[in-house]
Amino acid sequence: MSRYAFILAGGEGSRLCLLSEKRAKPAVPFASKYRIIDFALSNAVNSGIFDIGVVTQYRPASLNEHIGSGRAWDLDRSQGGVELLQPYLGWKETDWYRGTADAIYQNLHILEKKRLEEILILSGDHLYKMDYNPMYAFHRSHPGGVTVAVKDVPWEATDQFGILGVDSRDRVTYFEEKPKQAKSNLASMGIYIFRRSLLEKVLRDDSHESSSHHDFGRSILPRLVDEGEVYAYPYRHYWEDIGTVDSYYRANMELTRSDSALELRDPDWVIHTVSQDLPPLSFGTGGRASQSLIGSGCIIRGTVERSVLSPGVIVEAGAVVRDSILMNGCWVGAGTVVDHSILDKNVFVGRGTRLGDGDDYSPNVECPEHLSSGVTIVGKNTRLPEGLVVGRNCRVGADLVERHFTAPELKSGSVLNPPPPRAIPEIA
């Protein structure tokens, strides 16, 4: 039986702060060589699903470039393959997707010529390795029209998920989206298998509602739970929703441990991605690294400890990179210390700079809910001047250059944003 999967990859991901200001959340680099969406795509093809629609909306350029023809996932096929589904002016009255349910509704035409009884819907911003075949078998063995994958989450995190309850027959008895006081810690993983006829009906009905949500968690699932249509498939392995800077940082740091719960070296479940043609990693005289993931093309002349370096990073002599994430093309000058920091692509750190410095853990003044654990973040293409001292929980914007740093120190919790673009004078 042929199978089809929608991957929802259009979310803005505002809680990832600078990391998702210039790219969709599923396109954020992860674990040195991957993008977050690689996990959903790889799970699908490893489960034998080779017909996939990736639903995009927010800043899709990076995601589109990464997926391309789908060759890295064996999805460059004449029959099936991967298709990028973006809204465009003139397609519907609203043009933009109004929520996750509306995003699928506006693409139901994709299914018209496909002989399908079941539709798999995935989130493109979760980290996990999952064979969907047991979930399909579960779905077919239960009478409901919808199966949702579920997992226990920490009680203190229940306000970040859709929380549900189940009875002894695995039927979902209630569903609450991000409750302030949860009655359960069983969370929806954002993975659904729908009976096709039910999906088409409920999405068409929802499209006529005046609600501003049009979302699976807020609109669709609560209605179907009331109708007794939803069953819960329990999943007990590693799964992480990368929703915040802290969760992103922790998930990367977890991979530097020998007992990491997310195994990336499993030859039976390869996480596929687009690899760059770069020379091998090299160490200069005195260069060393420990408990780290380091990508191809990196040159290490200094010290790297418990860190994740994407391809093409250069760490000069005498520099120390510790407990940090450096994305593609970063350059760390001689004598610099980078500690508990995230550097987006092509960040230049001048010689003698101290980044993530001191014992002051004051939360960030603009986004304390995102930056309060001590992680400092630097935006894409920024150049930090020599000798600069940057504290903890700082947010240093993208595309800054040395002249934008007018003081020798950025205290903990500080924000430095790019200056507003200069207005173009009117011509009389």
CA distance 133 to 99: 28
Question: What are the sequence ranges of the domains in the chain?
Answer: 4-254, 282-416
- Written as one letter, the residue type at 382 is T
CB atoms within 10 A of CB 173: 14
Domain 4-254: CATH architecture, name and number where available: Alpha-Beta Complex (3.90)
Q: Say if residues 11 and 122 touch (Cβ distance below 8 Å).
A: no
What letter does residue 408 receive in the DSSP assignment? Answer: S
Element (H, E) at 46: helix 37-46
Model confidence pLDDT, tens digit, residues 110-144: 998 898 999 999 999 999 999 999 999 999 999 99
Smallest CA-to-CA distance from 54 within 78, 70, 71 is with: 70
Residue pair 371/356 in contact (Cβ under 8 Å)? The answer is no
- Token pair 């990196």 in the structure block, residue: 298
Q: What angle do CA 245, 41, 144 make, to 5 degrees?
A: 95
Q: Are 307 and 375 in contact (CB under 8 A)?
A: no
Residue type for 17, please? C
What CA–CA distance (Å, rounded) separates 156 from 151?
Answer: 15
- Alpha-carbon gap, residue 123 to 188, rounded angstroms: 11
Q: In this predicted structure, what is the pLDDT of residue 44?
A: 98
Between 14 and 264, residue with greater pLDDT: 264
* Residue owning tokens 């929608």: 6
Mean pLDDT in residue range 341-349: 98
Q: Over range 203-216, report the average pLDDT.
A: 83
Residue-level pLDDT at 317: 98
For 64-152, list the strands marked E by DSSP.
Answer: 81-85, 118-123, 126-128, 146-152
pLDDT tens digits for 145-188? 999 999 999 999 999 999 999 999 999 999 999 999 999 999 99
CATH 2.40.420.20 assigned to domain 282-416? The reply is no
Continuous segment of H or E residues that includes residue 349? strand 348-349
Do 115 and 2 form a contact (C-beta atoms < 8 A)?
yes
Of 62-66, 164-168, 291-295, which gets the smallest average pLDDT?
62-66
pLDDT for the residue 13? 63
> Could you read off the pLDDT of 142-157 as tens digits, one per residue?
999 999 999 999 999 9
Six-digit token pair at 61? 């350029």
pLDDT tens-place string over residues 2-55: 899 999 997 766 778 889 888 889 999 999 999 999 999 999 999 999 999 999
Q: What CA–CA distance (Å, rounded) separates 196 from 236?
A: 27
Pairing relationship of beta strands 29-30 and 34-35 according to DSSP bridges: antiparallel
Hey, what long-range contacts does 112-117 have (CB within 8 A, 24 or more apart)?
A: 114/2, 114/4, 114/51, 115/2, 116/2, 116/3, 116/4, 116/196, 117/1, 117/195, 117/196
pLDDT score of 92 more than 70: no
Mean pLDDT (whole number) for 77-97: 76
Q: Is the pLDDT of residue 313 over 70?
A: yes
SS3 per-residue string spanning 244-304: CHHHHHHHHHHCCCCCCCCCCCCCCCCCCCCCCCCCCCEECCCCEEECCEECCCCEECCEE
Given a contact cutoff of 8 angstroms between Cβ atoms, the answer to whether 385 and 9 are in contact is: no
Q: How far apart are CA 330 and CA 386, in angstroms?
A: 15
Q: Beta-carbon neighbour count of residue 10 at 10 Å?
A: 24
Structure tokens at 163: 């929380």
- What does residue 175 show for φ and ψ, rounded to 5 degrees? -145, 130
Backbone angles phi, psi at 266, to 5 degrees: -75, 110
